[in-house]
Amino acid sequence: MFLTNPTIDELLTLDMSLLMDMLVYQTRLYVQLMKQDGVSSTTKACRELIDNLQSAIYRKKALQKQER
């Protein structure tokens, strides 16, 4: 069974600290997967989640600045 990555909008509902923890975990996992498997569907999915996490973090920061 293959699960889909959360969307940026779904990630925006999470706390910033959780987003950062998820980014750290996924980045470590991505590096490990690239060493073991190289480019595969799993590493591509992991990279997509990293991109979504980064986008959510940037958007959340921008929203926080607007609220000030």
The residue among 62, 14, 1 whose CA lies nearest residue 49 is 14
In this prediction, residue 2 carries a pLDDT of 61
Would you say residue 35 lies in a domain?
Answer: yes
Would you say residue 2 lies in a domain?
Answer: no
Would you say residue 17 lies in a domain?
Answer: no
Q: How confident is the model at residue 55 (pLDDT cuts 50, 70, 90)?
A: very high
Residue 14, classed as helix, strand or coil, is coil
Residue 12, classed as helix, strand or coil, is coil
What is the rounded distance in angstroms from the CA atom of residue 40 to the CA atom of residue 25?
A: 19
Which structural domain range is residue 32 located in?
Answer: 23-61
Q: Is the pLDDT of residue 37 over 90?
A: yes
How many domains in the chain? Answer: 1
Would you say residue 10 lies in a domain?
Answer: no
Residue 68, classed as helix, strand or coil, is coil
Query: Mean per-residue pLDDT for 2-12?
Result: 90
DSSP summary character for residue 60: H
Distance of CA 51 to the CA centre of its chain: 6
